[in-house]
A and B are shown apart, each in its own frame.
Chain A
């Protein structure tokens, strides 16, 4: 199934763009190692407003060769299924990003008292899935790498600056401490559901183009 997904090549083709999401992770690590423990809630904020949204970056740049280098015509003439162009590649890179989220969740659970690593992962992982869905469908529809980046960038900064008071739809929970399952379940389910819808939509649009 994954035989035509060339991960090392994709990474090389993305060039510097592949390594860019490491910057927010470094910032997170720095805070985790050096931050004051009474300000641990900062780490939760970083997860919601920086680390999870940054998943958009990789997903958008996976299509740089298709749309910014105008390789789509050539690549679409190759004997690949729509899922090999799209979803399966997302599974690999999105999966890799989720592993980073898991790692951060583990670190957080060590740092924040009364926290559950699994619940943290559910919260930030489901948000990441939604961002991946947004990135995928937007890049397929717009054929521009910048569009998903701008869209999510504007959304996240607005939510951050207004603390969720303007926009009607919240991907994030704005929590300052670890939450219980009952407190996150609606958000988690909503994000996963909406993310799956967007992933399916992106896939179907791609399939129709092929």
Chain B
């Protein structure tokens, strides 16, 4: 399996380290999960060759990111904000991007295939400004797919989409991930769960955890509990350690983090969201180590 190796990457803005000695192995469909300002976009821009790190290296097999021109040949990138050539048509814009990617032969066929894959073939004569948010995202993915790149970087692809479009988009990414690396970022845990095989949780430019969904969920196993309380009852634990509250009839089901076993609670089977909250809020490091 192809792996993008990121080694000891550092990047600062105005003296503040936005990416801080970060190392990561990116493979398969890979999700970057992190709160606002974690450094996701910055990391993705470094991978997309748009900004140069102060320190650190990136490699995909023999290819080093020092060889910017070669990297751009095998890269597809969808920035966080994608909206360009608003008064032109989908097919015109795709043809232009294909030309920029250096695709000379069978350009029309290739574009048709890609537009079909992202389900935009029927809309290819529409102007960009008349596309819906979901269609625009799919066009963004379509241009990233040109030239059959080995690695595709998509920054917050589901932001601003409605639930149906989000689910559809995640499924599309999953399908496109066969045989290449897809790196996507989000702060919506659900999207990662449906799309990605591997995950890294990052905050303050650091990797807090990386692995498969299962591995990450297991990190907090034994620290997450559930307890049923009535509406009248006082909260048995500090507000800040609560993961979720669900209403069931007249009762509440509390799901919360606790470093030790609490009487009257049952241990929960942990999921990715538990791990994300525990790690990014620092509960685990505060209490366990």
A interface list, Cβ under 8 A from B: 3-4, 6, 9, 12-13, 15, 65, 69-71, 73-81, 210
Contacts and interface: CB of A to CB of B under 8 A. Distances in A.
B126 interface: no
A77 B92 contact: no
B99 A74 contact: no
B100 A4 contact: yes
A157 to B, nearest CB: 31
Contact of A9 (B78, B83, B86, B92): B92
Interface stretch (B68-76, B161-169, B201-209, B256-264): B68-76
A15 B84 CA distance: 13
Nearest 5 A/B pairs, CB to CB:
A79-B72, A71-B84, A77-B77, A9-B96, A78-B100
A3 B103 CA distance: 10
A12 B83 CA distance: 16
Query: Size class of B's contact patch?
Result: 20 to 34
Contacts of A76: 49-50
Nearest to B71: A79
Contact of B100 (A6, A13, A69, A210): A6
Nearest to B104: A3
B72 A69 contact: no
A74 B102 contact: no
Contacts of A12: 88, 92
Contact of B84 (A4, A69, A77, A210): A69
B45 interface: yes
A159 to B, nearest CB: 35
A77 B83 contact: no
A73 B69 CA distance: 15
Given A77-B49, A77-B77, A79-B73, A70 B84 contact: yes
Contact of B48 (A4, A71, A77, A210): A77
Given A12-B88, A13-B88, A70-B84, A78 B50 contact: no
Interface in B49-95: 49-50, 68-69, 72-73, 75, 77-79, 81-88, 92, 95
